[in-house]
Structure 1
Protein backbone atom coordinates (compact mmCIF):
# COMPACT_ATOMS: atom_id res chain seq x y z
CA UNK A 1 0.00 0.00 0.00
CA UNK A 2 1.44 3.35 -1.05
CA UNK A 3 1.43 6.02 1.67
CA UNK A 4 0.81 9.45 0.18
CA UNK A 5 2.82 12.36 1.57
CA UNK A 6 1.22 14.73 4.06
CA UNK A 7 -0.16 17.88 2.45
CA UNK A 8 1.40 21.13 3.63
CA UNK A 9 0.10 24.69 3.32
CA UNK A 10 1.59 25.30 -0.12
CA UNK A 11 0.22 22.06 -1.58
CA UNK A 12 -3.25 22.56 -0.15
CA UNK A 13 -3.40 26.15 -1.41
CA UNK A 14 -2.25 24.97 -4.85
CA UNK A 15 -5.14 22.49 -4.95
CA UNK A 16 -7.53 25.27 -3.90
CA UNK A 17 -6.15 27.50 -6.67
CA UNK A 18 -6.84 24.79 -9.25
CA UNK A 19 -10.39 24.37 -7.98
CA UNK A 20 -10.95 28.16 -8.11
CA UNK A 21 -9.67 28.33 -11.68
CA UNK A 22 -11.93 25.50 -12.79
CA UNK A 23 -14.95 27.09 -11.10
CA UNK A 24 -14.26 30.52 -12.62
CA UNK A 25 -13.88 29.06 -16.10
CA UNK A 26 -17.14 27.15 -15.88
CA UNK A 27 -15.42 23.79 -15.90
CA UNK A 28 -15.84 20.84 -13.59
CA UNK A 29 -12.60 20.34 -11.73
CA UNK A 30 -11.08 16.90 -11.93
CA UNK A 31 -11.45 14.92 -8.77
CA UNK A 32 -8.07 15.09 -7.16
CA UNK A 33 -7.11 12.24 -4.91
CA UNK A 34 -7.39 14.31 -1.74
CA UNK A 35 -10.06 12.58 0.34
CA UNK A 36 -8.40 10.74 3.18
CA UNK A 37 -5.06 12.50 2.70
CA UNK A 38 -3.41 13.79 5.84
CA UNK A 39 -2.59 17.46 6.07
CA UNK A 40 -0.39 19.48 8.40
CA UNK A 41 -0.35 23.20 7.79
CA UNK A 42 1.30 26.07 9.61
CA UNK A 43 0.25 29.61 8.94
CA UNK A 44 1.35 32.94 10.40
CA UNK A 45 -0.74 34.82 12.95
CA UNK A 46 -0.17 37.79 15.24
CA UNK A 47 2.01 39.50 12.66
CA UNK A 48 0.73 43.02 13.34
CA UNK A 49 0.16 44.98 16.53
CA UNK A 50 -2.26 43.24 18.95
CA UNK A 51 -5.96 44.02 18.67
CA UNK A 52 -7.36 46.29 21.35
CA UNK A 53 -8.74 44.67 24.49
CA UNK A 54 -12.47 44.09 24.27
CA UNK A 55 -12.60 44.29 20.49
CA UNK A 56 -14.44 41.59 18.57
CA UNK A 57 -12.06 38.96 17.24
CA UNK A 58 -12.78 37.97 13.65
CA UNK A 59 -14.26 34.49 13.34
CA UNK A 60 -12.22 31.82 11.65
CA UNK A 61 -8.97 33.82 11.82
CA UNK A 62 -6.20 33.51 14.40
CA UNK A 63 -5.25 36.84 16.01
CA UNK A 64 -3.19 38.33 18.81
CA UNK A 65 -5.15 40.47 21.30
CA UNK A 66 -4.58 42.58 24.37
CA UNK A 67 -6.32 41.50 27.57
CA UNK A 68 -8.51 43.92 29.51
CA UNK A 69 -7.13 45.20 32.82
CA UNK A 70 -3.92 43.19 32.43
CA UNK A 71 -0.56 43.60 30.70
CA UNK A 72 -0.91 40.15 29.12
CA UNK A 73 -1.63 39.20 25.51
CA UNK A 74 -3.54 36.24 24.13
CA UNK A 75 -3.56 34.20 20.96
CA UNK A 76 -7.12 33.39 19.99
CA UNK A 77 -8.91 31.52 17.22
CA UNK A 78 -12.72 31.44 17.14
CA UNK A 79 -14.22 28.90 14.69
CA UNK A 80 -16.81 30.37 12.34
CA UNK A 81 -20.17 28.61 12.09
CA UNK A 82 -20.47 27.45 8.47
CA UNK A 83 -23.24 24.92 9.12
CA UNK A 84 -25.96 26.79 7.22
CA UNK A 85 -23.73 27.78 4.32
CA UNK A 86 -22.90 24.12 3.67
CA UNK A 87 -26.61 23.25 3.54
CA UNK A 88 -26.86 24.95 0.14
CA UNK A 89 -27.08 22.78 -3.01
CA UNK A 90 -23.32 23.04 -3.48
CA UNK A 91 -22.79 21.66 0.02
CA UNK A 92 -22.86 18.12 1.28
CA UNK A 93 -25.59 16.16 2.97
CA UNK A 94 -25.09 14.06 6.06
CA UNK A 95 -23.26 16.75 8.05
CA UNK A 96 -24.73 18.10 11.24
CA UNK A 97 -22.27 20.96 11.65
CA UNK A 98 -19.28 22.66 10.07
CA UNK A 99 -16.77 24.92 11.79
CA UNK A 100 -14.78 27.20 9.50
CA UNK A 101 -11.21 28.46 9.48
CA UNK A 102 -9.79 30.88 6.91
CA UNK A 103 -6.27 30.47 5.57
CA UNK A 104 -4.71 33.89 6.15
CA UNK A 105 -2.80 35.49 3.27
CA UNK A 106 -3.73 32.74 0.78
CA UNK A 107 -1.25 34.12 -1.77
CA UNK A 108 1.59 33.35 0.68
CA UNK A 109 3.02 29.86 0.28
CA UNK A 110 5.33 29.93 3.30
CA UNK A 111 4.51 30.00 7.01
CA UNK A 112 6.25 33.31 7.73
CA UNK A 113 4.61 36.68 8.29
CA UNK A 114 4.23 38.78 5.12
CA UNK A 115 6.92 41.41 4.72
CA UNK A 116 6.41 45.14 4.00
CA UNK A 117 6.44 46.23 0.34
CA UNK A 118 9.38 48.02 -1.28
CA UNK A 119 10.37 51.13 0.65
CA UNK A 120 10.83 54.46 -1.09
CA UNK A 121 14.64 54.20 -1.10
CA UNK A 122 14.72 50.80 -2.82
CA UNK A 123 15.07 50.70 -6.60
CA UNK A 124 11.91 50.03 -8.58
CA UNK A 125 12.33 47.67 -11.51
CA UNK A 126 10.95 49.04 -14.74
CA UNK A 127 7.49 47.62 -15.26
CA UNK A 128 6.65 47.38 -11.56
CA UNK A 129 3.29 48.92 -10.73
CA UNK A 130 3.67 51.07 -7.61
CA UNK A 131 0.90 53.26 -6.27
CA UNK A 132 2.43 55.81 -3.83
CA UNK A 133 -0.90 56.59 -2.18
CA UNK A 134 -1.82 52.96 -1.54
CA UNK A 135 -2.50 52.31 2.14
CA UNK A 136 -0.13 49.58 3.32
CA UNK A 137 -0.37 49.78 7.11
CA UNK A 138 -3.12 47.14 7.33
CA UNK A 139 -2.65 44.26 4.87
CA UNK A 140 -5.78 42.73 3.42
CA UNK A 141 -6.95 39.47 4.96
CA UNK A 142 -8.83 38.38 1.86
CA UNK A 143 -11.01 35.39 2.69
CA UNK A 144 -10.76 33.21 -0.39
CA UNK A 145 -9.40 29.92 0.99
CA UNK A 146 -10.51 27.99 4.04
CA UNK A 147 -11.02 24.72 5.85
CA UNK A 148 -14.47 23.46 6.84
CA UNK A 149 -14.16 21.10 9.80
CA UNK A 150 -17.20 18.87 9.31
CA UNK A 151 -19.15 16.69 11.74
CA UNK A 152 -21.48 13.88 10.70
CA UNK A 153 -25.06 13.52 11.85
CA UNK A 154 -25.26 11.46 15.06
CA UNK A 155 -21.48 11.74 15.44
CA UNK A 156 -19.76 12.51 18.73
CA UNK A 157 -19.96 16.14 19.82
CA UNK A 158 -16.84 15.88 21.95
CA UNK A 159 -14.69 17.08 19.04
CA UNK A 160 -16.84 20.14 18.34
CA UNK A 161 -15.89 23.53 19.76
CA UNK A 162 -19.53 24.69 19.97
CA UNK A 163 -18.44 28.33 19.68
CA UNK A 164 -15.53 28.03 22.13
CA UNK A 165 -12.34 29.74 21.00
CA UNK A 166 -8.87 28.23 21.10
CA UNK A 167 -6.95 30.58 23.40
CA UNK A 168 -3.49 30.85 24.91
CA UNK A 169 -2.32 33.63 27.26
CA UNK A 170 1.12 35.19 26.84
CA UNK A 171 1.89 36.50 30.32
CA UNK A 172 4.02 39.47 31.25
CA UNK A 173 5.73 40.02 34.59
CA UNK A 174 2.61 41.49 36.17
CA UNK A 175 3.45 45.08 35.28
CA UNK A 176 4.74 45.03 31.72
CA UNK A 177 3.40 43.09 28.72
CA UNK A 178 5.26 40.07 27.35
CA UNK A 179 7.76 40.63 24.57
CA UNK A 180 5.92 39.98 21.32
CA UNK A 181 7.59 37.49 19.00
CA UNK A 182 8.92 39.71 16.22
CA UNK A 183 8.38 36.92 13.72
CA UNK A 184 4.75 36.56 14.74
CA UNK A 185 3.30 33.22 15.80
CA UNK A 186 2.14 30.09 14.03
CA UNK A 187 -1.26 28.43 13.92
CA UNK A 188 -0.97 24.70 13.33
CA UNK A 189 -3.88 22.64 11.97
CA UNK A 190 -3.64 18.91 11.36
CA UNK A 191 -6.05 16.18 10.28
CA UNK A 192 -7.47 14.44 7.21
CA UNK A 193 -9.15 15.76 4.09
CA UNK A 194 -12.84 14.80 3.85
CA UNK A 195 -15.17 14.89 0.82
CA UNK A 196 -18.42 16.51 -0.23
CA UNK A 197 -21.35 14.41 -1.46
CA UNK A 198 -20.00 14.40 -5.04
CA UNK A 199 -16.64 13.02 -3.93
CA UNK A 200 -14.77 16.27 -4.34
CA UNK A 201 -12.91 17.72 -1.38
CA UNK A 202 -13.00 21.40 -2.38
CA UNK A 203 -16.04 23.57 -3.14
CA UNK A 204 -15.99 27.12 -4.53
CA UNK A 205 -18.47 29.97 -4.78
CA UNK A 206 -18.43 33.52 -6.19
CA UNK A 207 -21.15 36.18 -6.40
CA UNK A 208 -20.11 37.21 -9.92
CA UNK A 209 -17.55 36.58 -12.65
CA UNK A 210 -15.33 39.49 -11.55
CA UNK A 211 -14.88 38.14 -8.04
CA UNK A 212 -12.23 35.62 -7.09
CA UNK A 213 -14.03 32.45 -5.96
CA UNK A 214 -13.91 31.60 -2.28
CA UNK A 215 -13.06 27.92 -1.89
CA UNK A 216 -13.15 25.67 1.15
CA UNK A 217 -11.80 22.19 1.69
CA UNK A 218 -13.80 19.75 3.81
CA UNK A 219 -11.65 18.29 6.58
CA UNK A 220 -11.71 16.24 9.74
CA UNK A 221 -9.65 18.40 12.08
CA UNK A 222 -7.69 16.41 14.65
CA UNK A 223 -5.23 18.87 16.14
CA UNK A 224 -4.86 22.62 16.61
CA UNK A 225 -1.79 24.24 18.15
CA UNK A 226 -0.10 27.61 18.68
CA UNK A 227 3.65 27.93 18.19
CA UNK A 228 6.31 30.64 18.27
CA UNK A 229 7.93 31.64 15.00
CA UNK A 230 10.85 29.42 15.98
CA UNK A 231 8.64 26.33 16.28
CA UNK A 232 8.27 26.15 20.06
CA UNK A 233 4.85 24.76 20.93
CA UNK A 234 2.84 26.98 23.26
CA UNK A 235 -0.41 25.02 23.48
CA UNK A 236 -2.31 22.32 21.63
CA UNK A 237 -5.77 20.75 21.42
CA UNK A 238 -6.49 17.26 20.15
CA UNK A 239 -9.93 16.02 19.22
CA UNK A 240 -11.76 19.22 20.12
Structure 2
Protein backbone atom coordinates (compact mmCIF):
# COMPACT_ATOMS: atom_id res chain seq x y z
CA UNK A 1 0.00 0.00 0.00
CA UNK A 2 1.52 3.25 -1.11
CA UNK A 3 2.39 5.66 1.46
CA UNK A 4 -0.19 8.63 1.46
CA UNK A 5 1.35 10.53 4.23
CA UNK A 6 1.85 14.20 3.35
CA UNK A 7 4.41 16.52 4.86
CA UNK A 8 2.30 19.09 6.70
CA UNK A 9 4.98 21.73 6.59
CA UNK A 10 5.21 21.45 2.81
CA UNK A 11 1.43 21.53 2.19
CA UNK A 12 0.76 24.48 4.56
CA UNK A 13 2.01 27.95 3.58
CA UNK A 14 4.33 29.59 6.04
CA UNK A 15 2.67 31.58 8.89
CA UNK A 16 4.30 34.84 7.78
CA UNK A 17 2.62 34.55 4.38
CA UNK A 18 -0.76 33.93 6.01
CA UNK A 19 -0.39 37.01 8.15
CA UNK A 20 0.55 39.13 5.17
CA UNK A 21 -2.35 37.77 3.16
CA UNK A 22 -4.74 38.44 6.01
CA UNK A 23 -3.52 41.99 6.39
CA UNK A 24 -3.90 42.56 2.69
CA UNK A 25 -7.42 41.17 2.79
CA UNK A 26 -8.37 43.47 5.64
CA UNK A 27 -6.96 46.41 3.76
CA UNK A 28 -8.93 45.48 0.65
CA UNK A 29 -12.10 45.01 2.71
CA UNK A 30 -11.60 48.33 4.41
CA UNK A 31 -11.13 50.05 1.09
CA UNK A 32 -14.15 48.31 -0.30
CA UNK A 33 -16.37 49.39 2.62
CA UNK A 34 -15.28 53.04 2.50
CA UNK A 35 -18.06 55.20 0.98
CA UNK A 36 -18.21 58.94 0.56
CA UNK A 37 -20.12 60.56 3.43
CA UNK A 38 -23.28 62.50 2.53
CA UNK A 39 -22.97 64.75 5.62
CA UNK A 40 -21.14 68.05 5.01
CA UNK A 41 -18.27 69.07 7.17
CA UNK A 42 -19.43 71.14 10.19
CA UNK A 43 -19.21 74.87 9.59
CA UNK A 44 -16.98 76.89 11.80
CA UNK A 45 -18.67 79.89 13.49
CA UNK A 46 -17.97 83.18 11.79
CA UNK A 47 -15.53 85.47 13.50
CA UNK A 48 -17.18 88.43 15.28
CA UNK A 49 -16.93 91.79 13.48
CA UNK A 50 -13.90 93.83 14.35
CA UNK A 51 -14.33 96.87 16.57
CA UNK A 52 -16.55 97.57 19.61
CA UNK A 53 -20.33 97.25 19.38
CA UNK A 54 -22.36 100.45 19.50
CA UNK A 55 -23.63 101.38 22.96
CA UNK A 56 -27.41 101.13 23.31
CA UNK A 57 -29.44 104.28 23.85
CA UNK A 58 -30.04 104.84 27.58
CA UNK A 59 -33.74 105.16 28.38
CA UNK A 60 -35.62 106.64 31.34
CA UNK A 61 -35.13 103.54 33.50
CA UNK A 62 -31.36 103.40 32.90
CA UNK A 63 -30.89 107.12 33.56
CA UNK A 64 -32.90 107.07 36.79
CA UNK A 65 -30.99 104.01 37.99
CA UNK A 66 -27.73 105.92 37.44
CA UNK A 67 -29.17 108.91 39.30
CA UNK A 68 -30.09 106.66 42.24
CA UNK A 69 -26.49 105.42 42.40
CA UNK A 70 -25.08 108.95 42.20
CA UNK A 71 -27.44 110.20 44.93
CA UNK A 72 -26.48 107.29 47.18
CA UNK A 73 -22.75 107.94 46.76
CA UNK A 74 -23.20 111.65 47.40
CA UNK A 75 -25.29 111.07 50.53
CA UNK A 76 -22.65 108.65 51.85
CA UNK A 77 -19.81 111.09 51.15
CA UNK A 78 -18.17 108.77 48.62
CA UNK A 79 -16.19 110.25 45.72
CA UNK A 80 -17.52 109.82 42.17
CA UNK A 81 -15.79 107.38 39.79
CA UNK A 82 -12.52 108.68 38.34
CA UNK A 83 -13.89 108.08 34.82
CA UNK A 84 -17.59 108.64 34.24
CA UNK A 85 -18.97 105.70 32.17
CA UNK A 86 -22.02 107.78 31.20
CA UNK A 87 -20.04 110.48 29.37
CA UNK A 88 -21.15 110.97 25.75
CA UNK A 89 -23.63 108.07 25.87
CA UNK A 90 -26.78 108.59 23.80
CA UNK A 91 -30.04 108.89 25.72
CA UNK A 92 -33.80 109.18 25.20
CA UNK A 93 -35.89 110.46 28.12
CA UNK A 94 -39.71 110.41 28.01
CA UNK A 95 -41.68 112.51 30.50
CA UNK A 96 -45.42 111.87 30.71
CA UNK A 97 -47.64 114.88 31.48
CA UNK A 98 -51.28 115.89 31.52
CA UNK A 99 -52.32 112.40 32.57
CA UNK A 100 -55.28 113.62 34.67
CA UNK A 101 -56.58 116.10 32.11
CA UNK A 102 -55.84 119.75 31.36
CA UNK A 103 -53.74 121.41 34.03
CA UNK A 104 -54.88 124.74 35.45
CA UNK A 105 -52.47 127.59 35.92
CA UNK A 106 -50.40 127.01 39.06
CA UNK A 107 -50.52 129.43 42.02
CA UNK A 108 -48.51 132.62 41.66
CA UNK A 109 -45.74 131.38 43.94
CA UNK A 110 -45.26 128.17 41.95
CA UNK A 111 -42.94 128.41 38.96
CA UNK A 112 -43.99 126.04 36.19
CA UNK A 113 -40.95 126.56 33.93
CA UNK A 114 -39.17 123.28 33.34
CA UNK A 115 -42.37 121.20 33.27
CA UNK A 116 -44.50 120.46 30.17
CA UNK A 117 -48.26 121.14 30.36
CA UNK A 118 -51.38 121.06 28.24
CA UNK A 119 -54.58 123.08 28.43
CA UNK A 120 -57.67 123.92 26.42
CA UNK A 121 -57.60 126.97 24.17
CA UNK A 122 -59.76 130.02 24.91
CA UNK A 123 -62.53 128.61 22.73
CA UNK A 124 -62.49 125.30 24.59
CA UNK A 125 -62.10 123.40 21.32
CA UNK A 126 -58.35 123.32 20.69
CA UNK A 127 -55.59 121.83 22.86
CA UNK A 128 -52.31 123.60 23.49
CA UNK A 129 -49.12 121.82 24.56
CA UNK A 130 -46.39 124.00 26.06
CA UNK A 131 -42.91 123.53 27.52
CA UNK A 132 -40.53 126.26 28.64
CA UNK A 133 -37.10 125.27 30.02
CA UNK A 134 -36.19 126.74 33.39
CA UNK A 135 -33.27 129.18 33.40
CA UNK A 136 -30.41 127.62 35.40
CA UNK A 137 -27.62 129.66 33.86
CA UNK A 138 -26.85 131.15 37.28
CA UNK A 139 -27.05 127.81 39.11
CA UNK A 140 -29.62 125.24 40.14
CA UNK A 141 -30.67 123.08 43.07
CA UNK A 142 -27.52 120.96 42.77
CA UNK A 143 -24.99 123.78 42.87
CA UNK A 144 -23.65 126.99 41.33
CA UNK A 145 -23.17 127.67 37.66
CA UNK A 146 -20.28 125.95 35.92
CA UNK A 147 -17.91 127.46 33.39
CA UNK A 148 -17.81 126.53 29.72
CA UNK A 149 -21.50 126.88 28.91
CA UNK A 150 -23.33 129.91 27.55
CA UNK A 151 -26.75 128.83 28.82
CA UNK A 152 -28.15 126.07 31.04
CA UNK A 153 -31.83 125.18 30.79
CA UNK A 154 -33.67 122.82 33.10
CA UNK A 155 -36.45 120.27 32.87
CA UNK A 156 -37.88 118.42 35.87
CA UNK A 157 -38.24 114.64 35.62
CA UNK A 158 -41.64 113.99 37.19
CA UNK A 159 -42.27 110.80 39.18
CA UNK A 160 -38.52 110.05 39.43
CA UNK A 161 -39.32 106.94 41.49
CA UNK A 162 -41.16 105.45 38.46
CA UNK A 163 -39.15 103.78 35.70
CA UNK A 164 -42.09 103.35 33.29
CA UNK A 165 -42.48 105.98 30.58
CA UNK A 166 -46.27 106.30 30.76
CA UNK A 167 -48.74 107.87 33.15
CA UNK A 168 -48.75 106.94 36.84
CA UNK A 169 -51.75 105.51 38.66
CA UNK A 170 -54.22 108.34 39.38
CA UNK A 171 -53.97 109.85 42.84
CA UNK A 172 -54.71 113.27 44.27
CA UNK A 173 -56.14 115.91 41.93
CA UNK A 174 -53.64 118.31 40.46
CA UNK A 175 -54.96 121.27 42.46
CA UNK A 176 -54.35 119.42 45.73
CA UNK A 177 -50.94 118.21 44.56
CA UNK A 178 -49.68 121.80 44.31
CA UNK A 179 -50.13 122.17 48.07
CA UNK A 180 -47.98 119.11 48.86
CA UNK A 181 -44.24 119.37 49.61
CA UNK A 182 -42.18 118.99 46.45
CA UNK A 183 -40.53 115.55 46.07
CA UNK A 184 -36.73 115.29 45.91
CA UNK A 185 -35.95 116.77 42.50
CA UNK A 186 -34.39 114.95 39.59
CA UNK A 187 -33.76 117.06 36.54
CA UNK A 188 -32.00 117.30 33.21
CA UNK A 189 -29.64 120.24 32.75
CA UNK A 190 -29.83 121.32 29.11
CA UNK A 191 -26.32 122.52 28.33
CA UNK A 192 -25.52 124.94 25.52
CA UNK A 193 -21.87 125.66 24.89
CA UNK A 194 -20.73 128.79 23.10
CA UNK A 195 -21.86 128.68 19.48
CA UNK A 196 -23.76 125.39 19.95
CA UNK A 197 -27.33 124.61 18.90
CA UNK A 198 -30.02 126.83 20.40
CA UNK A 199 -32.32 123.85 20.91
CA UNK A 200 -33.58 123.96 24.49
CA UNK A 201 -32.26 127.42 25.35
CA UNK A 202 -33.90 128.82 28.47
CA UNK A 203 -34.18 132.32 27.01
CA UNK A 204 -35.75 131.16 23.74
CA UNK A 205 -39.41 130.82 22.86
CA UNK A 206 -41.43 128.08 24.46
CA UNK A 207 -42.05 124.84 22.61
CA UNK A 208 -45.75 125.03 21.81
CA UNK A 209 -48.12 122.91 19.75
CA UNK A 210 -51.82 123.50 19.04
CA UNK A 211 -54.06 120.52 18.26
CA UNK A 212 -57.47 120.90 16.60
CA UNK A 213 -60.28 118.45 16.00
CA UNK A 214 -61.69 117.22 12.72
CA UNK A 215 -64.06 119.72 11.11
CA UNK A 216 -66.26 121.33 13.75
CA UNK A 217 -65.42 118.73 16.38
CA UNK A 218 -63.29 119.81 19.35
CA UNK A 219 -59.90 118.21 19.77
CA UNK A 220 -60.40 115.04 21.83
CA UNK A 221 -58.73 114.84 25.23
CA UNK A 222 -55.80 112.40 25.29
CA UNK A 223 -56.55 108.94 26.64
CA UNK A 224 -53.23 108.70 28.49
CA UNK A 225 -51.83 112.21 28.42
CA UNK A 226 -48.87 113.27 26.35
CA UNK A 227 -45.11 112.70 26.55
CA UNK A 228 -42.24 115.11 26.19
CA UNK A 229 -39.33 113.33 24.47
CA UNK A 230 -35.76 114.57 24.91
CA UNK A 231 -32.91 112.96 22.94
CA UNK A 232 -29.20 113.66 22.68
CA UNK A 233 -25.99 112.86 24.54
CA UNK A 234 -25.16 112.75 28.23
CA UNK A 235 -22.56 115.46 28.77
CA UNK A 236 -20.07 115.98 31.62
CA UNK A 237 -20.65 119.39 33.15
CA UNK A 238 -19.53 119.55 36.78
CA UNK A 239 -16.04 118.35 37.60
CA UNK A 240 -16.15 115.91 34.69
CA UNK A 241 -19.34 114.28 35.97
CA UNK A 242 -22.55 113.74 33.99
CA UNK A 243 -24.70 113.61 37.17
CA UNK A 244 -24.25 116.26 39.85
CA UNK A 245 -25.93 115.80 43.24
CA UNK A 246 -25.89 117.99 46.33
CA UNK A 247 -26.66 117.21 49.96
CA UNK A 248 -29.15 119.83 51.15
CA UNK A 249 -30.24 118.08 54.35
CA UNK A 250 -29.07 114.91 56.08
CA UNK A 251 -32.52 113.31 56.25
CA UNK A 252 -33.49 113.78 52.60
CA UNK A 253 -32.34 112.45 49.28
CA UNK A 254 -29.92 114.81 47.50
CA UNK A 255 -31.31 116.58 44.45
CA UNK A 256 -29.51 115.58 41.23
CA UNK A 257 -29.22 117.03 37.74
CA UNK A 258 -28.08 115.14 34.64
CA UNK A 259 -26.04 117.10 32.09
CA UNK A 260 -27.31 116.64 28.52
CA UNK A 261 -26.84 118.15 25.07
CA UNK A 262 -30.07 117.97 23.05
CA UNK A 263 -30.41 117.10 19.39
CA UNK A 264 -34.16 116.40 19.38
CA UNK A 265 -37.22 117.50 21.34
CA UNK A 266 -40.68 116.13 20.55
CA UNK A 267 -44.25 115.64 21.74
CA UNK A 268 -45.86 112.19 21.60
CA UNK A 269 -49.37 110.91 22.12
CA UNK A 270 -49.27 108.98 25.39
CA UNK A 271 -51.55 106.18 24.20
CA UNK A 272 -50.29 105.51 20.68
CA UNK A 273 -46.70 106.84 20.80
CA UNK A 274 -47.38 108.87 17.64
CA UNK A 275 -45.03 111.83 17.18
CA UNK A 276 -47.14 115.00 17.16
CA UNK A 277 -44.36 117.52 16.59
CA UNK A 278 -40.58 117.70 16.90
CA UNK A 279 -37.73 120.20 16.92
CA UNK A 280 -34.11 119.62 15.84
CA UNK A 281 -31.04 121.85 15.64
CA UNK A 282 -30.83 124.18 12.70
Normalized against structure 2, the TM-score is what?
0.70
CA drift of 1:105 comes to: 0.8
Of 16-25 and 26-35, the range deviating more from structure 2: 26-35
Gaps of at least 5 residues in structure 1 are 118-135
Q: Given that residues 238 and 244 in structure 2 are in contact (C-alpha distance below 8 angstroms), is that contact kept between their aligned partners in structure 1?
A: no
Residues 1:45 and 2:97 are matched in the alignment: yes
2:218 and 2:183 map into 1 onto residues whose CA distance is 30
CA drift of 1:54 comes to: 9.8
Partner of 1:121: none
The change in CA–CA distance for 1:27 and 1:53 in structure 2 (over 3 A counts) is closer
Q: Deviations over 1:40-60 (max 9, x none)?
A: 122211112212379887111
**Cα RMSD over matched residues?**
2.7
Equivalent residue runs for 1:184-203 within 5 Å: 184-203=225-244
Q: Given that residues 184 and 254 in structure 2 are in contact (C-alpha distance below 8 angstroms), is that contact kept between their aligned partners in structure 1?
A: no
The answer to which structure has the higher strand fraction is 1
Residues 1:61 and 2:115 are matched in the alignment: yes
CA drift of 1:63 comes to: 1.2
Of 59-68 and 184-193, the range deviating more from structure 2: 59-68
Residues 1:183 and 2:224 are matched in the alignment: yes
CA drift of 1:74 comes to: 1.1
CA drift of 1:170 comes to: 1.8
- Equivalent pairs, count: 221
The answer to which structure has the higher helix fraction is 2
CA drift of 1:157 comes to: 5.6
SS at match of 1:188: strand
Pick the structure with greater CA Rg: 2
Equivalent residue runs for 1:130-145 within 5 Å: 136-138=172-174, 142=183, 144-145=185-186
Of 13-22 and 68-77, the range deviating more from structure 2: 68-77
Residues 1:18 and 2:69 are matched in the alignment: yes
CA drift of 1:18 comes to: 0.7
The change in CA–CA distance for 1:183 and 1:201 in structure 2 (over 3 A counts) is same
Residues 1:235 and 2:277 are matched in the alignment: yes
SS at match of 2:73: helix
SS at match of 2:150: strand
Partner of 1:146: 187
Of 28-37 and 45-54, the range deviating more from structure 2: 45-54
Normalized against structure 1, the TM-score is what?
0.82
Gaps of at least 5 residues in structure 2 are 1-50
Partner of 2:48: none
Q: Deviations over 1:7-51 (max 9, x none)?
A: 000000110111111111111232431111000122211112212
Where relative contact order (Cα < 8 A, 6+ residues apart) is larger, the structure is 1
